[in-house]
Amino acid sequence: MTAYWINTFSAIHDETKLARYIELAGPAMRAAGGVFLARGNPVHVLEGTSALRTTVIRFDSAEAAVAAYHSEAYQAALTELGDGAERDIRILNALDGST
């Protein structure tokens, strides 16, 4: 079942570390089968307080998304990010059309 990786930044402490993370994370996600659907700063924030970077990536399954997170390439990106940002990552299954 298709799944979506949603990464929302709640704080950015170091733009240089974030830039290096972005350089490495994109190729790591694509190599793991991820397809970027949206990324960047929100156009509108209707509820909540964070207007920081958000990314939505489609994977063939939740298992593929979790495997991408644990991949050597993505872990290297996380090492570069270090304490440069705070964020939330969620993996959601797509609706199957019956709900």
The pLDDT-based confidence of 97 (bands split at 50, 70, 90) is low
Nearest CA among 4, 8, 7, 95 for reference residue 49: 8
Number of domains the chain contains:
1
Domain presence at residue 98: no
Domain presence at residue 33: yes
Q: Which residues contact 59 (CB under 8 A, 6 or more apart)?
A: 2, 3, 4, 5, 32, 33, 34, 35, 65, 68
User: Where residue 61 sits, what CATH number does that domain have?
Assistant: 3.30.70.100
Residue 93 has pLDDT above 70, yes or no: yes
- Per-residue three-class SS string for 21-59: HHHHHHHHHHHCCCEEEEEECCCCCCCCCCCCCEEEEEE
Q: Domain of residue 15: give its range.
A: 3-42+52-93
pLDDT in tens, 12-65: 999 999 999 999 999 999 999 999 999 999 999 899 887 899 999 999 999 999
Contact 9, 61 (CB under 8 A): no
Residue 99 has pLDDT above 60, yes or no: no
Domain presence at residue 73: yes
Domain presence at residue 29: yes
The pLDDT-based confidence of 3 (bands split at 50, 70, 90) is very high
Domain presence at residue 47: no
